[in-house]
Amino acid sequence: MGKSARGISLQTSGYKVLILCFCAAMIEGFDIQAAGVAAPKLAPALGLAPGQMALFFSSATFGLIFGAIVGGRIADRFGRRTGLILSLLTFGLFSLGTALVGSFSALVLMRFLTGVGLGGALPNLVAIAAEALSRERRGTAVGLMYAGIPIGGAIASAVSILGLHDSWESIFVIGGILPVALVPVLLLSLPDLKVARDHGDEANISATFRSIFGPSSWQTTLLLWLGFFFSLLVLYLLLNWLPALMVAKGFSKYDAGIVQIVFNIGGAAGSLMVGNALDGIHRRRAVILSYGLLVAALFGVALLPNNLALAIVSGVLLGGTIIGVQAILYGLAPQSYTQEVRGTAVGFAVAAGRLGSVAGPLLAGALVAGGKSATEVLLGIVPIAILGGLASLLLVHRLAKAQNAGNRDAAAEYESTAVSQTSA
């Protein structure tokens, strides 16, 4: 009875941690899309040319790459809670700073530093979520946490199409206050998850790199990076270009905004369902089904007639599948490495994916500039989605082999111990 009660208590505590992580992820999702919401009022207010706006958008993305690497390292060196709080303070304070700028150079700098904080938060959130529940529920835990990001994005999109922001500054003020306000709650409620270290920093760094890039792990790392790169390329192409592509297909801006909202809502549902599926015995089927539905959704949106009801259904399916495959990768990432290097390894993987998030919008821009239609752009990214699916499927296969080998070793050790005890 006591043991059972203790198990329930630990599980309840783990879900409380996940709720906090979900809230932090939701705030991050809002902040990631804050720039897009502010852009229509920001550009004329500061007199920014299209080229300057492109630099403004990309500055946060480059900050995300740098932040993911640093944030992951902080998670392993100083603890997950410390890394998450520092990240929230960073993107919160610099988001507030963005609202106060008076020049283009200051705007780019503030957005870059905001991106550093945003990038640092995700490896810590993944590590905390993965360690909040038992290993058997790790996919569900990460999926629940990650569902907060598209929910935050949906709120930002709703603010945009409903015109709820009085000025471009107000979006960044809200995006700055929320993470800073969450910090005291995390300090009081989130356990300080630290990784024990018995050696010096130099030895730790060397061991970390061997664990991530060594002979037994480099293939896992490569597959994870490729999966993230291709999948985030597709995701960020859609996040940045889906409204414009819908307008090009004959929909109004308002209707395109509605599709963007349901895209994010579908993404939250997809993250939850796929995360739960990763904890089952049919992981390969979950990966094949998720990426197969993503390809089907891309074809569906590409060939979509000018019908809002069909567009909404297609948007939900597309969001559910593309965010769902992100949940697959974020669920697999912490399971690919030991606890001692988990934050750093996930940080590197997220950074590799962010390169895809840079390439996606650039690819769409190049295709549109080259005269490609919205249908051709959407069909053009189908092979990229398939490559992401192949990398993810190979990763699942590799992890399954490693787990089976580990189970055999454990069984052999148990049998050997039992024989020895019998002989004695």
For 259-295, how does the pLDDT look when each residue is reduced to its tens digit (9 = 90+)?
A: 888 998 999 998 888 888 877 767 888 899 999 999 9
Tell me, what's the pLDDT at 183?
94
pLDDT of residue 193: 61
Q: Is 70 exceeded by the pLDDT of residue 1? A: no
Per residue in 304-325, pLDDT (tens digit) is: 888 899 999 999 999 999 999 9
Return the DSSP state at 340: G
Which residue's structure tokens are 């996930």?
346
Q: What is the pLDDT of residue 405?
A: 63
- CB contact burial 96-114 (16+ within 10 A = b; e otherwise): bbbbebeebeebbbbbbbb
pLDDT at 370: 85
pTM: predicted TM-score of the whole model, two decimal places: 0.81
11-190+217-414: CATH topology is: Growth Hormone; Chain: A; (1.20.1250)
The residue type found at 206 is: S
Q: Of all residues in the chain, what percent carry a pLDDT higher than 90?
A: 36
The answer to whether residue 386 scores a pLDDT higher than 60 is yes
**What is the model's pLDDT at position 10?**
44
Query: Confidence band (pLDDT; 50, 70, 90) for 67?
Result: very high
Q: Give the other-Cβ count within 10 Å of 164's Cβ.
A: 13
Of 193-197, 361-365, 415-419, least confident by mean pLDDT is 415-419
**Residue-wise DSSP of 89-122:** HHHHHHHHHHTT--SHHHHHHHHHHHHHHHHHHH
Q: Is 280 left (phi over 0), alpha (psi -120 to 50) or beta?
A: beta
Alpha-carbon distances, residue 58 vs 29, 349, 358 (angstroms): 17, 19, 7
Decide if pLDDT at 17 tops 80: yes
- Dihedral angle over CA of 306, 308, 310, 315, nearest 10: 110
User: For position 279, what pLDDT does the model report?
Assistant: 77
Q: Contact, 334 vs 126, CB < 8 A?
A: yes
Mean pLDDT in residue range 77-85: 90
Query: For the ranges 20-34, 183-197, 274-288, which has the lowest average pLDDT?
Result: 183-197
| Confidence (pLDDT) at 12 | 52
pLDDT in the model for residue 318: 92
Res 200 pLDDT > 80:
no
In this structure, what are the phi and psi dihedrals at residue 79, rounded to the nearest 5 degrees?
A: 110, 150
Least confident of 294-298, 314-318, 398-402: 398-402
CA dihedral for 18, 149, 220, 196, sign (positive or negative): negative
Distance linking the first and last C-alpha atoms of the chain: 34
Q: Which two tokens stand for residue 265?
A: 């809502």
Domain residue spans of the chain: 11-190+217-414
Name residue, tokens 């502010």: 38
| Contact criterion met (CB below 8 Å) for 127 and 75 | yes
Least confident window among 129-138, 353-362, 387-396: 129-138
DSSP line for 257-283 = HHHHHHHHHHHHHHHHHHHHHHTSS-H
Contact call for residues 148 and 71 (beta carbons, < 8 A)? no
Range 43-57 average pLDDT? 83
Per the CB < 8 A criterion, the answer to whether 268 and 147 are in contact is yes
DSSP string, 187-255: HHHS--------S-HHHHHHHHHHHHHSTTTHHHHHHHHHHHHHHHHHHHHHHHHHHHHHHHTT--HHH
Q: What was the pLDDT predicted at 349? A: 92
Lowest mean pLDDT among 226-230, 233-237, 417-421: 417-421
| Average pLDDT along the chain | 83
State the burial class of residue 13 (Cβ atoms within 10 Å of its Cβ: 0-12, 13-18, 19+): middle
With cut-offs at 50, 70 and 90, classify the pLDDT of residue 400.
confident
Quick check: 7 pLDDT over 50? no
Write down the pLDDT at residue 4: 37
pLDDT given at position 84: 94
Q: Does residue 164 carry a pLDDT above 60?
A: yes
Q: Are 88 and 117 in contact (CB under 8 A)?
A: yes
